[in-house]
């Protein structure tokens, strides 16, 4: 099984957090100029802006808006906390609609000390509560399983199988999965779970980066594709075999790369995309 060769950057999407030092306006100009095909906008990048105007700027330069990142963080220890989380997700849905983003990535959340099963139930209930508004705007909600090292406070959904369970429970065409190699590359069930996800028409997004050895920071030491040990081509082949034809989204949190000249970094992103993704 081999992946389709990447010969151009039309299916390359970059997350605004990847080039963290750039504002959203700068990122849009630079990505478009570099021939990047799509963008995933992080919500912090929209603070203090008229969101519809950012959407207009994106459409004017032909950058496809892949998703808004991120919603989620549903679990809470109090009923007020649960309600606040649902409200924040409703706000994210309205922001996505204003931006023109068809999808929101969900980092589902967890509460330290609370049983993971309880958090998973709260996650399913929270998504269910936000779904009517997502239906109004036709916004897809993509559950992103996170590596188990984040099970304490970032996500109780740690495998594709666990994400598929929540999707099964909700059984809704707007609820699917964002598969991020950083979080799932180690999973012995990966091929089978990606196959099932595709079969159920819920493989909504594909995120790429690499895993550094040694990893010096659990959040901000991701590698650029080719720098680490993730079998990227093999996983992309699985994703393509499952019927996925969307963007390959480069999502790299890296203090090391953020300290570099971002124009040079974008050049390296394109090289890594074409050669190692
Ligand atoms: Zn991701």
C-alpha–C-alpha distance, residues 93 and 26, integer Å = 24
- The CA 64 to ligand 1 mean position distance, Å, reads 18
At 138, list the tokens: 């036709």
Find the 20 Cα to ligand 1 centroid distance in Å. Answer: 15
Task: Give CA 45 to chain center in angstroms.
Answer: 15
Cα of 207 vs centre of ligand 1, distance in Å, is: 5
Could you give the CA distance from residue 194 to residue 203 in angstroms, rounded to a whole number?
Answer: 8
Predicted pLDDT at 203: 98
CA of 144 to the centre of ligand 1 (A): 7
- Rounded to the nearest angstrom, the distance between the alpha carbon of 251 and the centre of ligand 1 is 6
* 3 touches 236 (CB < 8 A): yes
CA of 79 from ligand 1 middle (Å) equals 28
Residues 269 and 222: beta-carbon distance below 8 Å: no
Q: How many angstroms is it from 189 CA to the middle of ligand 1?
A: 19
28 Cα to the center of ligand 1, angstroms: 19
Q: What residues of the chain score a pLDDT lower than 70?
A: none
Three-state DSSP at 249 gives strand
d(CA 73, ligand 1 centre) in Å = 15
Confidence (pLDDT) at 1: 73
Residue-level pLDDT at 116: 98
* 201-235: pLDDT as tens digits: 999 999 999 999 999 999 999 999 999 999 999 99
The phi, psi pair for 184, rounded to 5°, reads: -125, 0
Residue 212 vs residues 159, 225, 252: alpha-carbon distances, Å: 20, 10, 11
Burial of 191 per CB tally in 10 Å (0-12, 13-18, 19+): middle
Tokens of 57: 């700027």
User: Cβ of 129: how many Cβ atoms within 10 Å?
Assistant: 17
| Chain segment 20-53, per-residue pLDDT in tens | 999 999 999 999 999 999 999 999 999 999 999 9
CA–CA gap between residue 194 and residue 191 (Å, rounded)? 5
Ligand 1 centroid to residue 132 C-alpha, Å: 25
Place of tokens 């050895």: 213
Cα 180 to ligand 1 centre (Å): 5
Show the 3-state SS of 61-81. Answer: CCCEEEEEEEEECCCCCCHHH
CB 141 within 8 A of CB 176: yes
* Distance (Å) from CA 163 to ligand 1 centroid: 14
For the chain, the structural domain boundaries read 12-276
Does 214 sit behind a cis peptide bond, omega within 30 degrees of 0 on the bond before it? yes
Ion ligand 1, residue ranges at CB < 5 A: 180, 207, 251
Predicted pLDDT of residue 196? 98
156 DSSP assignment: S
pLDDT at 129: 98
Q: Whole-model pTM?
A: 0.97
> Is the domain 12-276 a CATH 3.30.2230.10 member?
no
């Amino acid at each position: 099984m081999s992946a389709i060769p990447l010969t151009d950057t039309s299916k390359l999407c970059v997350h605004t957090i990847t080039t963290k030092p750039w504002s959203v306006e700068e990122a849009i100009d630079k990505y478009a100029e570099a021939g990047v095909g799509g963008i995933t906008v992080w919500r912090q990048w929209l603070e203090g802006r008229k969101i519809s105007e950012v959407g207009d700027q994106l459409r004017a330069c032909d950058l496809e808006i892949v998703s808004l990142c991120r919603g989620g963080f549903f679990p809470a220890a109090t009923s007020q906390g649960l309600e606040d989380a649902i409200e924040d997700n409703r706000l994210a849905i309205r922001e996505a609609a204003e931006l023109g983003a068809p999808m929101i990535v969900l980092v589902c959340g967890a509460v330290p000390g609370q049983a993971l099963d309880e958090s998973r139930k709260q996650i399913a209930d929270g998504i269910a509560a936000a779904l009517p508004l997502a239906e109004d705007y036709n916004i897809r909600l993509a559950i992103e399983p996170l590596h188990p090292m984040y099970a304490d406070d970032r996500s109780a959904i740690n495998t594709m199988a666990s994400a598929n369970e929540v999707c099964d429970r909700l059984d809704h065409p707007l609820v699917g999965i964002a598969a991020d190699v950083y979080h799932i590359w180690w999973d012995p069930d990966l091929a089978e779970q990606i196959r099932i996800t595709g079969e159920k028409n819920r493989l909504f997004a594909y995120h790429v980066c690499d895993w550094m050895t040694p990893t010096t920071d659990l959040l901000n030491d991701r590698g650029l594709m080719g720098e680490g040990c993730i079998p990227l081509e093999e996983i992309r082949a699985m994703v393509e075999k499952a019927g996925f034809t969307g963007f390959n989204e480069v999502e790299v949190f890296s203090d090391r790369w953020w300290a570099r000249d971002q124009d040079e970094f974008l050049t390296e992103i394109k090289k890594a995309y074409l050669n190692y993704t």
